[in-house]
Structure 1
Amino acid sequence: MQTEKNEKMADSRDMIGAHDAMRREFGALPALIAGVPAGDARATGFVADHTLMMIDFLHAHHTSEDDHVWPRLRERCPDAVESLITTMDQQHAAIDDELKALAAVGRRWRDSADASDREAVAAVAERLLPGLYEHLALEEEQILPLIDRHLTQREWKATVEASLGKVRFSQRLLMLGMALHGADEEQARLLRAAVPAVVWHVGRPIGTRLHRAHRERLASASRDRAL
């Protein structure tokens, strides 16, 4: 489908790769956190910082949708999306509340390396998952087709770039490595099309190495090895 200006329409399937990374990383958090030995300040600090980084990633992802996707869909297909985006907004708000709680207990645990704080972080991380999974699935089922129908590829790439721009450059590379981890050939192709060319050609090998090293450090910090 083309716009009146003959612009190519969005292909938002790359979001599934980002969602898969979020599902994998957040799904691993409760056991990862619970596996950190009490009193081990170094291991606690690394896993707590990883948790806070994942919170930042998800927050950047959601606020970019709030700023760039919902307004365009409301403008271009209001009858089709109003109730759906109301649901998206409510889910974002509920998830954001859980992320704030997770960040608060995560910072406290990072400072204390205490077993009770560790268990509190693991509990909030577990509590987050059902709402997050429900939201990601609904977005893939109902929002992505609307994005592909009503946003151009240029607008979609601007949304992806806005999300990347909310995190530090080194974390962008790690995020790319995270998204590529376990991605099949099709998902890798979609990610390549979504990110700026320089990020792909320069950042992909660096991001892959950063993510591999990051995973190894997480595994050494926690008794849980299922990473």
Structure 2
Amino acid sequence: MTATAVRPTGLVPVPRRAPDVAAAPATRPGAAASRALAYQRVLHRLLRRELRLLAELAGWAPSGEHRRTAALTGHADLLGRVLLHHHAVEREALWPALVRAVPDATGAVEDWRARCDRTDQLVRDAATAARQWQVAGSDPARWAFAAACRALADAVDAQTAEEERTLLPLLAGTLAPEDWAAIAGSARCRLSGPEQLLVLGLALEDSCADDRARLLEGLPRSVRTAWRLSGARRYRTAVVRLRGAPPST
């Protein structure tokens, strides 16, 4: 991908609304809620898979191979930035909008905040372990990084499962279209062009055909074009380099 193929808008993929609400009036809350739910579930699925896989890859990575170390720690950095951004969108915009619509959700949101604070600290712990492994290049440093990734993956599994059980159902039929439009418009993670396409590929990988179509439809035309012309091929190359195997789909 050339430097001009995708401008670094900082967008994390946000799906368009599902077909079952595509014909809904603009004022119907369900249309906005459907897009919010899709965004949450796509990001949750991506992060759960990649953090678990990263812990496994680090567990058997060779010692003293700086290129391999850089690839794994670089992926951890990207996932950490995406996760922290995701939490910031929820903390600053999504859950306040939910509480305005459903005041009874306040307790569940406060519980989420406590869980989220612990998870964010684990992101910082993993970043520290990554830097130590990069400097030391030793087996103990690699094991510490793998353990930090595993602890983060466990926390994300538990946090997102509880979030999907208690908070996401409350969004259905309650989120106003203008609230979601404002939230989606502010969801910027300062990703570079190549990082955008990598995150897009990660989001598409485990998605069904309908979700894939909605993800691509929700992107700027320039990003869709870049994905079609070179992004998909480069994503496959990046995954093979990282995992030693091509994407699952």
Secondary structure (helix, strand or coil) at the match of 2:91 reads helix
Tell me the residue number matched to 2:65. Answer: 40
User: How far is 1:116 from its partner?
Assistant: 1.0
What are the within-5 Å matches in structure 2 for residues 1-227 of structure 1? 5=27, 8-11=31-34, 12-79=37-104, 81-193=105-217, 195-198=218-221, 201-205=224-228, 206-220=230-244
Contact 2:33/2:173 (<8 A) preserved: yes
User: How far is 1:163 from its partner?
Assistant: 3.3
Contact 1:177/1:211 (<8 A) preserved: yes
Question: C-alpha distance in 2, partners of 1:146/1:203?
Answer: 36
- Bigger mean CA deviation after superposition, 65-74 or 12-21: 12-21
Secondary structure (helix, strand or coil) at the match of 1:196 reads coil
Q: Percent identity?
A: 23
- With the length of structure 1 as denominator, give the TM-score of the two structures: 0.85
Secondary structure (helix, strand or coil) at the match of 2:210 reads helix
User: How far is 1:152 from its partner?
Assistant: 3.2
Question: C-alpha distance in 2, partners of 1:111/1:82?
Answer: 44
One-letter identity of the residue aligned with 1:121: F
Contact 2:32/2:177 (<8 A) preserved: yes
Structure 2 vs 1, CA of residues 65 and 166 (structure 1 numbering), >3 Å: closer, same or farther? farther
Contact 1:109/1:118 (<8 A) preserved: yes
Question: Greater helix share, 1 or 2?
Answer: 1
One-letter identity of the residue aligned with 1:177: G
Question: C-alpha distance in 2, partners of 1:185/1:226?
Answer: 16
Question: C-alpha distance in 2, partners of 1:174/1:50?
Answer: 10
User: How far is 1:87 from its partner?
Assistant: 1.0
Structure 2 vs 1, CA of residues 203 and 66 (structure 1 numbering), >3 Å: closer, same or farther? farther
Structure 2 vs 1, CA of residues 4 and 199 (structure 1 numbering), >3 Å: closer, same or farther? closer
One-letter identity of the residue aligned with 1:155: D
Question: C-alpha distance in 1, partners of 2:188/2:67?
Answer: 28
Secondary structure (helix, strand or coil) at the match of 2:198 reads helix
One-letter identity of the residue aligned with 1:196: L
User: How far is 1:207 from its partner?
Assistant: 3.8
User: How far is 1:219 from its partner?
Assistant: 2.8
Structure 1 residues 83-116: Cα deviation after superposition (integer angstroms, max 9, x where no partner):
1001110111010011100001101112222111
Structure 2 vs 1, CA of residues 161 and 176 (structure 1 numbering), >3 Å: closer, same or farther? farther
The alignment's C-alpha RMSD in Å is: 2.7
- Bigger mean CA deviation after superposition, 168-177 or 98-107: 168-177
Structure 1, unpaired ranges of 5+: none
Contact 2:52/2:153 (<8 A) preserved: yes
Contact 1:30/1:126 (<8 A) preserved: yes
Question: C-alpha distance in 2, partners of 1:146/1:207?
Answer: 36
Structure 2 vs 1, CA of residues 69 and 40 (structure 1 numbering), >3 Å: closer, same or farther? same
User: How far is 1:56 from its partner?
Assistant: 0.8
Structure 2 vs 1, CA of residues 49 and 165 (structure 1 numbering), >3 Å: closer, same or farther? closer
Structure 2 vs 1, CA of residues 183 and 6 (structure 1 numbering), >3 Å: closer, same or farther? closer
One-letter identity of the residue aligned with 2:66: A
User: How far is 1:170 from its partner?
Assistant: 2.3
| Equivalent residue pairs, number | 222
Structure 2, unpaired ranges of 5+: 1-20
- With the length of structure 2 as denominator, give the TM-score of the two structures: 0.78
Secondary structure (helix, strand or coil) at the match of 2:187 reads helix
Question: C-alpha distance in 1, partners of 2:220/2:38?
Answer: 18
Question: C-alpha distance in 1, partners of 2:143/2:220?
Answer: 42
Contact 1:9/1:151 (<8 A) preserved: yes
- Bigger mean CA deviation after superposition, 94-103 or 160-169: 160-169
User: How far is 1:153 from its partner?
Assistant: 4.2
